[in-house]
Amino acid sequence: MRTLLPSLLGILFLAFLMALPASADSAPLSLDEGWEYRWGDSPFQDDGTPAWVNDPPAQGEWQPIAFPSNPPVRGGSKHAWFRITLPEGEWRDPVLYIYSVDLITQAWLEDELIYQHGHFDDRGEGRFAGWPWHMISLPEAFAGKTLYFRVFSDYTDIGLWGEVKLMERLDLLRYILERSAADLIVSAFLLLLALLASIFALVQGNRRSFFGIGLFSLASGIMLLAETQASQLLLDIPLLWDYLAAVGYYTLPVAMGLMLEHWFAAQRPILLRRIWQLHLGYLVLAPGLALAGIIDLSSTFPTFDALLLVTLLVMFTTIVVRLDALNAEQKLIITSYGLFALLLLVDMAVAHGLLPWRRVPVSGGALGFALAIVMISLWHYRHIQRELHRLNLSLEKQVAERTGELEHMVETLQAYSYQDALTGLHNRRYFDELLEHEAAVARRQGTSLTLAMIDIDHFKQFNDREGHEAGDTVLVGVGRVLSHHFRDADVVCRMGGEEFVIIMPGATSASAEARLAELLEILSRTHFRHRNRELGPLTISCGIATYPEHAGDPLTLIGLADKALYSAKHRGRARIEIYA
């Protein structure tokens, strides 16, 4: 944290400097001419000064070279020296900028050591220390002096690489930030995309595809961040950034292989599985051996480049052969990945000297891939929103229909809860609730309330003689007669078995008796039929009780009417008794 905080503050300050104009009297100067090289390593004098920095007899062994990198006829040599005479110029805070060095180096300004990258042992050798860019501070009186570079490399390349410029320190920092801005933005965008893809992989059904996209975005985002020169300003640990770059670079074919295997799952792509498994093994093995100190990380890149070249050819051959199996979205992703892979191959060719040095816009290919994913995501989002709107309308319609069905069901269930299943009349539960209501009305308004209890005479013997089905037919028939005979204000309920009760609001005992007398007459003429057989006429017994004539509390009417009914049965049945 102590190192990172000043670095972040420094970058904010440098970002402010980017807006300032460059120094007019000290424009950057590319050192592309006047270089010389010499194979081997210099012996060192007793004072620690290399003999080659001041050895007139050996001047003829220095050979001219256009750029201080990869001199001819290497012959397995791991040591080389390069030198140049520094030019005149007006400089306030001069530095020498080098894009990279293969692999470790010392810079001597004549007999003074002014810079060192990596550690040289007694044999003049050393381990890989990373591929950072280099800023070498120069003294004010450097003009006309000779600058020497002692280089050790057991890598495929040896020497300085990329660019060598003489410039002001602030101009160099501005230069680094300007050329890193696009990479930083694309890297942040890819890392955000990786996070979103990971979230979708957890919550969506198409997990493997989202996982592949997320892994590819994460790998390319880490690679770009690690390779951008501004990363060195964030954290000046070059080897760490190179490990991150290697891990991101080596993960790319693993992610792409996973996506392709998922897309071509119907064709059982064993070869694609073996490819990403091979790269996964390399991803684990190569950095692992480097961390263990068995090999240098630098030596893992050429092997991977050769492996990647072969696997890219196999992957894209597989894609071309089975292109019809992909949908439009997958083809767009493949196209964007193809552009990214092409830029990686160009960058690889530049790194191995097959093409002249140039800055390859790898971040542009990564951005193309990210934009393809974003376009697909936006299309999916729009499609999902339309589907959600359609589903919402459908759900609203279904909810309305289900609500109507539920209300009807509730009404039906409510009716069942208050209705006798056999006769369709109201049941005992309905009677109890209605009696409380009508009793309250009668007390409040001072009106009369009459209950009439009805029982079918000798119904048990009828059931035993004719059967229960015939008995049910009679109960239904009697219930139908009761419903039609009484007025609308009267409510007929079945109390259970062969017993019925009529609540008659506002009726007197006399009017109720008259109404029941008519009912007895009707039933005496009524013949019920069961299975094409006529059943004989039945008689009923009735008991009547009225509020306030017979009771001070309307709720006691049921007991009084029941006593009157008992009296009617005791006196011979087929009659009406009023409570007395």
pLDDT top residue among 470 and 321: 470
- C-alpha 154/C-alpha 561 separation (Å) is 118
Half-sphere exposure at residue 330, Cβ-oriented, CA atoms within 13 angstroms: 18
Burial per residue of 391-408, b for 16 or more beta-carbon CB atoms within 10 angstroms, e otherwise: eeeeeeeeeeeeeeeeee
Average pLDDT along the chain:
85
Same domain, residue pair 481 and 545 = yes
The answer as to whether 149 is a domain residue is yes
Taking the C-alpha atoms of residue 577 and residue 73, their distance in angstroms, rounded to an integer, is 137
pLDDT at residue 248 is higher than 60: yes
pLDDT of residue 419: 87
Examine the domain organization and report whether 253 and 305 are in the same domain: yes
Q: What percent of the chain has pLDDT over 90?
A: 45
pLDDT of residue 109 exceeding 90: yes
Residues 452 and 546 in one domain: yes
Cβ atoms within 10 Å, residue 49: 16
Give the residue from 201, 213, 203 showing the smallest Cα distance to 260.
Answer: 213
Tell me the average pLDDT across 452-477: 90
pLDDT digits (tens, 9 = 90+) for 265-320: 766 678 888 888 999 999 999 999 999 989 989 899 899 988 988 888 887 787 77
Same domain for 470 and 368, yes or no, is: no
Q: What's the pLDDT at 141?
A: 86
Residue 82 has what pLDDT? 97
Contact 39, 265 (CB under 8 A): no
- Residue listed under structure tokens 């890193």: 180
| Residue carrying structure tokens 């971040």 | 363
What is the three-class DSSP state of 447? coil
What does the pLDDT read at residue 131? 92
The boundaries of the domain holding residue 228 are 179-387
What is the domain-level CATH number for residue 292?
1.20.1070
Instruction: Render pLDDT for 372-399 as a digit per residue (tens, 0 to 9).
Output: 777 766 676 676 677 777 878 888 788 7
Mean pLDDT of 103-125: 94
Q: CB of 579 within 8 A of CB of 560? A: yes
Identify whether the C-beta of residue 475 lies closer than 8 Å to the C-beta of residue 423. Answer: yes
Sheet containing 499-505: order of strands: 491-496, 499-505, 449-456, 540-547, 576-578
pLDDT surpasses 50 at 330: yes
CATH number assigned to the domain comprising residue 451: 3.30.70.270
Choosing from 103, 127, 158, the residue where a domain stops is 158
| Residue 3 pLDDT class (50, 70, 90 cuts) | very low
How many other C-beta atoms lie within 10 A of the C-beta of residue 302? 15
Q: Once rounded to an integer, what is the mean pLDDT over residues 360-368? A: 78
Write down the pTM of the prediction: 0.63
Verify that 268 and 330 share a domain, yes or no: yes
The residue to which tokens 């010389």 are assigned: 36
> How many angstroms separate the Cα of 505 from the Cα of each of 273, 488, 544?
88, 11, 13
pLDDT at 7: 41
Check whether residue 230 and residue 285 sit in a common domain: yes
Chain segment 418-439, per-residue pLDDT in tens: 888 889 898 998 899 889 999 9
Answer yes or no: do 376 and 231 share one domain: yes
Confidence of residue 57 (pLDDT cuts 50, 70, 90): low
Say if residue 246 is in the same domain as residue 352: yes
Q: How many domains does the chain have?
A: 3
Torsion of CA 193, 198, 199, 202, to 10 degrees: 160
